[in-house]
Amino acid sequence: MKNNTTFFIIILIYIACMISLFCFSQKTHKNRTLKKVHIVIDPLSQNHFLNDEIIKNILFSKTEKIDKKIDQLCILRMEKKLNNYPFIKKSEVFLSVNGILNIKIWQKEPILRIKNGNKEYYLTKDAENLELSSFYSSKVILAKGPFSIKEKKYLTNLVQYINSDELLKNQIISIKKNKKNSFVLIPKIGNHHIILGNIKDFKNKLNKLKAFYKQYLNKIDINQYRSIDLQYKDQVVAKKR
């Protein structure tokens, strides 16, 4: 019985020591000064809307010192600030034991630029409107005209399909919607326009365009054509000037 009591007391002392040590280390850690801010911006992204300076300006005001005490930092508030910034899709903020604030940033990816009268903005892969940046201009396809929410979703699918094909990606530079809600593609090579018509069944139409280009683009003077019409089933109608 005496041995059991002694063992129990030893266990209690050990637990008390561990708790005290943990509390001391936590207090010491919180009182440490932030040594460094390490920022990683999505290395796979081809866009450059953000840099280290912009990220720091979002989190810290110009008059605010970065060398804060660690217990003065609120990670959740920092992530909220970052995620509210227009060009940030997602962020992760965490502190390492050596007093370094680590920040990981994923940018929103514009897939095309829309121009409707005097209004211009990007459209992301998720069909989300994204304001233009004064810091960086993304090299994406330009789409002209007023577009409904449904049409914007079709547009993002259309542009992703174009970007996935080397020939189409290098040839199609602009999209236009006319008054009859018919979509027209503007090519890089050739003084003609490509009549897509209804945007819903764009895949079959673009496959016909690819076949036409592969067969004739390097064999004929493409500038002799005024338009290439993809609206007809199983055929391409090329009209000369």
Q: What is the pLDDT of residue 45?
A: 85
Nearest-10 Cα torsion for 131, 136, 137, 140 = -90
**Residue 189: pLDDT over 60:** yes
Task: Judge if 188 and 95 occupy the same domain.
Answer: no
**Residue 16: pLDDT over 60:** no
Q: What is the pLDDT of residue 34?
A: 66
**Residue 25: pLDDT over 50:** no
Kindly report the pTM of this predicted structure: 0.77
Q: Encode pLDDT of 81-91 as tens digits.
A: 999 999 999 99
Q: What is the pLDDT of residue 8?
A: 60
Q: Which of 86, 107, 128 is the last residue of a domain?
A: 107
Q: What is the pLDDT of residue 5?
A: 64
**Residue 162: pLDDT over 90:** yes
Distances (CA, A) of 54 to 60, 105, 148, 195: 10, 12, 33, 43
**Residue 22: pLDDT over 90:** no
Residue 66 lies in a domain: yes
**Residue 178: pLDDT over 60:** yes
Q: What is the pLDDT of residue 30?
A: 45
240 CB neighbour count, 10 Å cutoff:
8
Q: What is the pLDDT of residue 13?
A: 62
What range defines the domain where residue 151 resides? 110-240
Q: What is the pLDDT of residue 112?
A: 94
Q: What whole-number distance in Å separates Cα of residue 25 and Cα of residue 183?
A: 65
Q: Which of 107, 130, 148 is the last residue of a domain?
A: 107
In the chain, what percentage of residues exceed pLDDT 90?
Answer: 51
Q: What whole-number distance in Å separates Cα of residue 123 and Cα of residue 104?
A: 23
Provide the 3-class DSSP secondary structure of residue 18: helix
Residue 99 lies in a domain: yes
Identity at 81, one-letter amino acid code: K
Question: Considering its fold, how many domains does the chain have in total?
Answer: 2
Q: What is the CATH number of the domain that holds 59?
A: 3.10.20.310
Lowest average pLDDT, out of 85-89, 116-120, 162-166, 211-215, goes to 211-215
Task: Judge if 118 and 36 occupy the same domain.
Answer: no
User: CA triplet 201, 120, 154: central angle to 5 degrees?
Assistant: 15
Task: Judge if 136 and 196 occupy the same domain.
Answer: yes
Extended strands (E) in the chain: 36-41, 88-95, 100-107, 110-116, 119-124, 129-130, 141-144, 172-177, 183-187, 193-197, 225-229, 237-240
Residue 10 lies in a domain: no
Q: What is the pLDDT of residue 223?
A: 82
Q: What is the pLDDT of residue 51?
A: 92
Residue 4 lies in a domain: no
* Higher-scoring residue by pLDDT: 119, 34: 119
Residue 190 lies in a domain: yes
Task: Judge if 129 and 89 occupy the same domain.
Answer: no
Task: Judge if 60 and 170 occupy the same domain.
Answer: no
* Higher-scoring residue by pLDDT: 108, 75: 108
Q: Which of 107, 141, 171 is the last residue of a domain?
A: 107
158: left (phi > 0), else alpha (psi -120 to 50), else beta? alpha
Nearest-10 Cα torsion for 18, 20, 21, 23 = 120
Rg (CA), the chain: 29
Task: Judge if 74 and 54 occupy the same domain.
Answer: yes
Q: Encode pLDDT of 30-50 as tens digits.
A: 455 667 889 999 888 888 999
DSSP conformational letter for 61: -
Residue 40 lies in a domain: yes
Q: What is the CATH number of the domain that holds 148?
A: 3.40.50.11690
Task: Judge if 42 and 83 occupy the same domain.
Answer: yes
* Mean pLDDT, all residues of the chain: 83
Q: What is the pLDDT of residue 3?
A: 54
Residue 15 lies in a domain: no
Residue 7 lies in a domain: no
Task: Judge if 136 and 235 occupy the same domain.
Answer: yes
Task: Judge if 78 and 190 occupy the same domain.
Answer: no
